[in-house]
Structure 1
Amino acid sequence: MNLISTDSSESLDYVAPPAQFVGWATLLMIVASMGIVTARLCDAPPLRSANDRSRWCTVWALVERNTYQIDEIRQKKGWDTIDIVRNDGHFYSSKPPLLPRMVAELYRGLKRVTGWTLTEQTEAVTRSLLFLINVVPMGFALWYFSGLVKDYCRDPFGQLFIIACGCFGTLLIPYLTVFNNHTIAATAFFIALPMTVRCLALDGQQYWRFAVSGLLTSFGICNELPAALLGLGFFAILLQVSVSRTLFVFVPAALIPIAGFFYTNHEATGSWKPFYAGYGTKTYVYEHEGVPSYWSDPKGIDQPRDSTPYYLMHCVIGHHGILSLTPIYLISLWGWIWPRYFWRSRLWVFQCLGMALTAATLGFYLTKTENYNYSGASVALRWMLWLTPFWLLAMFPVLSRWGRFATFRGVAMALLAVSVFSAAYPSNAPWAKNWIFQLMEEAKWINYTDPTPPFKQKHFTWIGKLPTGELQPDYWIRYGSTSAIGIPEEIEFKDAGPAPNGRRLVSVRLSTAGQTTSEVMYLFDVARFNAGMPVEDFLLGRQDGEKPSEADLLFFRGMPRKMQYLASRTRYEKTPLRTDAFRCQVGYTYVTEKPENQLPRQIVRDVWYCEEVPFGTLKWEERVQDGKTSEVLVRQLWQPIAAGRYFDRAAESEF
């Protein structure tokens, strides 16, 4: 059975290289492309994304602690990640462990030679390793793939165009500066595809090609599990060439990475199943020390909110569209859907395979409605990038036929220009919004931001709540801070019991350098406070009957004049008070003042309202900023240092 056309006009013999300059131009483009990537890599800050950090944490843990557990390293500032799971009381990366294990051995060797460590020489180590695992292999893979281009694309322009697409116009390029599985898989397939083609073209004469094809195909699949269908496809194709070499060379070679995948997975998890097979289970959805996992309630674009048709549209021609961001693939689509080019292609079986893999992969992710996140905060649909070699292959028949026409060349170059712009737009990392996404956001066509949870009542004070009922001796909290001139200060609030007519007495003691400077008993109208009325309405005065002074009003407002505190984000704050974090809803307010003969200044106060502590405020920060530049002139943070009791966390914030 001939799986490559034997039409007399398209023989199996390799097409002779066109002009010599094509070879040199190819080499120049590959060197230039990898040179640009290397320059970006040297400029890119390390550990930019939770995705990267998850794998780097495993690499560090394997070399420094001989374990897959990342509990220790994630405590280091700048190393924590949301891409983690919790299993048997420990944290692990949610990523398959085979790739981190391999990179860990490279790191071990680099450490022995240079003395560098991931935590001390983070930039040098990460850049060196990424150059070795991303840039060098991709450069070689593009060079090897270019041989297939020159063999099976008849037009010299088409050859240069396809190679230019591979070097500059695919969205694999931005990912070469980060630690990820997608470029690793694509690199393997850039070599495995032409290797498999040549197994057919040479009628199975060179058995080593079966071994390389099996090894790299399997390794790519281990890094991109949805590509498993590719392995079955290559297996079926090669069976038609040589049953014996497929079964006794291709298959054994393919089993090597697969064995490594399952061995490292069992070593890390104690199970044959990878951690991410348990998405949505307790390994992903948990609460640890008062902080729920990110995947308990994903935020932003990670929160599924689009319908299937809408999601499909944006995956193809929308803000993460394969065709909108990289319109060069319109040529690939043409090569697939136009029978005249498709069925007469010498590589028709691989064209069929590429088309089937694309449809199957996209269809698979369309069924995962709980994961409708466009592969997260990223410039592309990451989980489709491994198909890049097949998309470039689909261009061959179209460019062979039309590459000699000037009009077609002009259109093709325009498509390439847009694709190159998309690939170049993220300056040094792919973990960003692509340009179409940004334009749509600015035009308000899309909105993936989470609405700010509103306060249940208005707040005109930084005090969150007041005690009720009988006197509660343990209802007190003390805050500490350091003044702008370095003097320690404290504020203590304490319940002093109920007063007639639904009022409440609260003791407020101020201390400086360990000495009490004032202690005042204030009288509050609890009903007015709970109704969200301004300080002037609920602060009735002092216990001795004295009306509240302007200084008293200023103290409880936190502002020179009446200002409402606006709701902001929910945060889980760790404090020295206890192991578990406190759930807080942050509120803020500000006022701009223009003192006479002085520059304008802005007074800002952020408050962490918290129902779990007495008086409903965990901490607050006050800042004085330049009214024009927002430069912080003075900053003071007040944090809790002791409390009489804590309250259970409600299902929803009380505020």
Structure 2
Amino acid sequence: MILSNQRKTLAPVSLQVMIVIAIAIAAGRIACVTSPEGDTAFLSANDRSRWCTIASLVEDGTYAIDRQVAIANPIHRNRRPWGTIDKVRHTGADGKLHYYSSKPPLFPTMIAGVYKVMHLSTGMTMTAQPIYVPRMILAIVNLPILALFLVCTTFVIGRVCQTTEGKALAVAFTCFGTMMLPFTVSLNNHLPAAAAMAVAAAFYVYVADRIAGIERGDSLTVNPGAWLVIGLAAGFAAANELPALSMTAFWFVLCAWLDRRSIVPFVGGLTLVAIAFFGTNWIAHQSFRPPYAHRGVGETIAVLDPTAKQADLPQANSALAGQVKSALLANRLIEDDAVFTIYPSDEAKRYVVRANDDLFALIPTGEGWRLAKWDDWYEYPGSYWQDGNRRGVDLGEPSRVKYFLNMTVGHYGLFSLTPIWLLLPIGFFISLRMGPDDYRRMSAAILLATLVCAAFYISRPMIDRNYGGVSTCFRWMLWFSPLWLMMIAPVLDDWSESPWLRRVAIGLLALSAISMSTALSSPWQSPWLYRFWQFLGWIDA
């Protein structure tokens, strides 16, 4: 009996110790994070894109990042330490063409608020101190977000697991078995999305417990603020990971199923996030669509010269060029004295019409030419994203079957790189059959969201089937981490009572921790398995 009491006393302490160690590991990596060249704390084009926006907002008062991407290394003048391929170009509010980050601006705008306070307090700027200022911001922002992810996921695990050993195993999986630690050392959207999803899950389980208590006759109440938090968290997860919108919709249904009075506060929280997301996007780009959604041509302005020979280059067809200019003038889209040029687009069978800094598209239709508004923000001189410039995994995987295999059990595999997820089928089987109704409904929602998102990524066009680019895992589904951990917690609870199965669980954790540790230097590197396959000659280097 004394031993049992000691175990119950020590268990919460051991869980806290694991959480603290995980945060300490992340803090240590942040304290020494440096680019490979040693001149910034930026690890890839992905995080540089966001850092550029943050620096520009505070130092220049604009979302345009022209100054940042042009900064040269003082010693190696050809190096651009702020340069990024994750940028777009379009006409700004001043009528001139500018470069912008291709990332949704909401999260960088929030981080810019942190940087602004730091700048006013210390006088330091990221441009002058591109190593220490970003490190401080990462510590201030990412460590609390990581803590939120760990604490909220642990809270749910505490509600699911019935045994001390099972709970300890589940928390160890949470702290060291996923790729959340590597992504804490870099500015990215995956960590906040996962943390937000953990918050939504924790508050849902908390409210479900209280409602169950009320139904049993306990004197409990449900604060409407809890529904508001779930709406905020679910919305913020979707704002950082658009496919997470599927789970956001499920959270709405789950909450409404528990209590119809949740609808108004949940929608209220969701609306606040939507206003912030679309508002910052409009301020930054004068468009409600995020930058990555601008990859083609816009609405038709006019149909021109149905008798023209389409084999003729339009810039050599003075009659067609005259019609183009007349149509643009008639629609008041250009000034009379605009400098007017037509030249081939990077895309086949498309031409660019440029009038000063205004761009339009000219496309042969078979019956003439269609003049349309320009909406391809990824086409600009030197753009990495045009055909012929992309390399490696960014070329896209032609075979959907091969893509599915590599994203599950191959070189970017969810199961091959993070073997703890091998327990998911068992976890879903248990969770869908056992426990209270609200838990089973939540488990079904998580399973459906998982299948929907996996199908979404497999169905994408070839250019988007790139495994998330150069990153240490299939990062696009990282936001599922807290939800999947909830699903495998019952398995760990059962297995903890069997010495043999407990060793299997620990072995899966060890293998997952090995993959995690290989990425602690930077999440923006190819998975160790991908690099090993390159060494074997199975993948072209």
Give the alignment's TM-score, normalised by structure 2.
0.76
Equivalent position to 2:295, from 274, 279, 300:
279
8 Å CA contact 2:149–2:482 kept in 1: the answer is no
Q: CA deviation at 1:341?
A: 5.2
Is the alpha carbon distance of 1:258 and 1:285 closer, same or farther for their aligned partners in structure 2, counting shifts above 3 Å? closer
What's 2:468 paired with? 375
1:576-591 paired onto structure 2 within 5 Å: none
Q: Give the percent of matched residue pairs that are identical in Structure 1 and Structure 2.
A: 31
Instruction: Please tell me whether residue 410 in structure 1 is matched to residue 503 in structure 2.
Output: yes
What's 1:84 paired with? 87
Determine helix, strand or coil for the equivalent of 2:288: coil
Instruction: Please tell me whether residue 114 in structure 1 is matched to residue 119 in structure 2.
Output: no
Separation of aligned partners in 1, 2:225 and 2:158: 22
Separation of aligned partners in 1, 2:171 and 2:121: 37
Q: CA deviation at 1:47?
A: 1.4
Separation of aligned partners in 2, 1:258 and 1:79: 30
Separation of aligned partners in 1, 2:457 and 2:278: 24
Give the counterpart letter for 2:195 in structure 1.
T
Is the alpha carbon distance of 1:287 and 1:207 closer, same or farther for their aligned partners in structure 2, counting shifts above 3 Å? closer
Q: Deviations over 1:165-223 (max 9, x none)?
A: 11111012111000100001111111110111222221172322111111111111111
Higher Rg of the two aligned structures: 1
Determine helix, strand or coil for the equivalent of 2:376: coil
Equivalent position to 1:222, from 194, 218, 239:
239
What's 1:235 paired with? 252
Is the alpha carbon distance of 1:200 and 1:112 closer, same or farther for their aligned partners in structure 2, counting shifts above 3 Å? same
Separation of aligned partners in 1, 2:16 and 2:445: 29
Is the alpha carbon distance of 1:205 and 1:292 closer, same or farther for their aligned partners in structure 2, counting shifts above 3 Å? closer
Q: CA deviation at 1:396?
A: 2.4
What's 2:215 paired with? none
Instruction: Please tell me whether residue 210 in structure 1 is matched to residue 300 in structure 2.
Output: no
What's 1:547 paired with? none
Q: CA deviation at 1:158?
A: 1.4
- Greater relative contact order structure (CA < 8 Å, 6+ sep): 2
8 Å CA contact 2:408–2:416 kept in 1: the answer is yes
1:89-238 paired onto structure 2 within 5 Å: 89-203=97-211, 205-238=222-255
Separation of aligned partners in 2, 1:42 and 1:295: 37
8 Å CA contact 1:30–1:142 kept in 2: the answer is yes
What's 1:519 paired with? none
What's 1:65 paired with? 60
Give the counterpart letter for 1:137 in structure 2.
I
Q: Which runs of 5+ in 2 are unaligned?
A: 35-40, 73-80, 92-96, 212-220, 298-374
Separation of aligned partners in 2, 1:312 and 1:284: 29
Q: CA deviation at 1:400?
A: 2.5
Give the alignment's TM-score, normalised by structure 1.
0.63
Q: Deviations over 1:365-417 (max 9, x none)?
A: 11112211110011011110000011101112222222200000000000000
8 Å CA contact 1:54–1:81 kept in 2: the answer is yes
Q: CA deviation at 1:66?
A: 1.0
Equivalent position to 1:345, from 435, 443, 455:
435
8 Å CA contact 1:315–1:322 kept in 2: the answer is yes
What's 2:51 paired with? 56
Determine helix, strand or coil for the equivalent of 1:47: coil
Separation of aligned partners in 1, 2:190 and 2:386: 22
Is the alpha carbon distance of 1:341 and 1:283 closer, same or farther for their aligned partners in structure 2, counting shifts above 3 Å? closer
Separation of aligned partners in 2, 1:207 and 1:386: 26
Give the counterpart letter for 1:115 in structure 2.
G
Separation of aligned partners in 1, 2:151 and 2:520: 24
Give the counterpart letter for 2:444 in structure 1.
C
Q: Which structure has the highest helix share of the two?
A: 2
Instruction: Please tell me whether residue 361 in structure 1 is matched to residue 453 in structure 2.
Output: yes
Aligned residues: 428
Instruction: Please tell me whether residue 423 in structure 1 is matched to residue 496 in structure 2.
Output: no
What's 2:31 paired with? 42
Structure 1 runs (4+) deviating above 6 angstroms are: none
8 Å CA contact 2:194–2:482 kept in 1: the answer is yes
Separation of aligned partners in 2, 1:40 and 1:280: 40
8 Å CA contact 1:320–1:380 kept in 2: the answer is yes
RMSD: 1.7
Is the alpha carbon distance of 1:100 and 1:292 closer, same or farther for their aligned partners in structure 2, counting shifts above 3 Å? closer
Q: Deviations over 1:404-440 (max 9, x none)?
A: 0000000000000010011110232111122111111
What's 1:31 paired with? 20
Q: CA deviation at 1:331?
A: 1.3
What's 2:218 paired with? none
Q: Deviations over 1:533-573 (max 9, x none)?
A: xxxxxxxxxxxxxxxxxxxxxxxxxxxxxxxxxxxxxxxxx
8 Å CA contact 1:284–1:293 kept in 2: the answer is no
Give the counterpart letter for 1:80 in structure 2.
G
Is the alpha carbon distance of 1:200 and 1:18 closer, same or farther for their aligned partners in structure 2, counting shifts above 3 Å? farther
Is the alpha carbon distance of 1:284 and 1:271 closer, same or farther for their aligned partners in structure 2, counting shifts above 3 Å? closer
Q: CA deviation at 1:40?
A: 0.8
Separation of aligned partners in 2, 1:286 and 1:357: 33
Is the alpha carbon distance of 1:411 and 1:93 closer, same or farther for their aligned partners in structure 2, counting shifts above 3 Å? same
Separation of aligned partners in 1, 2:386 and 2:183: 24
What's 1:440 paired with? 533
Is the alpha carbon distance of 1:394 and 1:184 closer, same or farther for their aligned partners in structure 2, counting shifts above 3 Å? same
Q: CA deviation at 1:152?
A: 1.6
8 Å CA contact 1:133–1:184 kept in 2: the answer is no
Separation of aligned partners in 2, 1:351 and 1:94: 34
Separation of aligned partners in 2, 1:252 and 1:427: 38
Q: Which structure has the highest strand share of the two?
A: 1
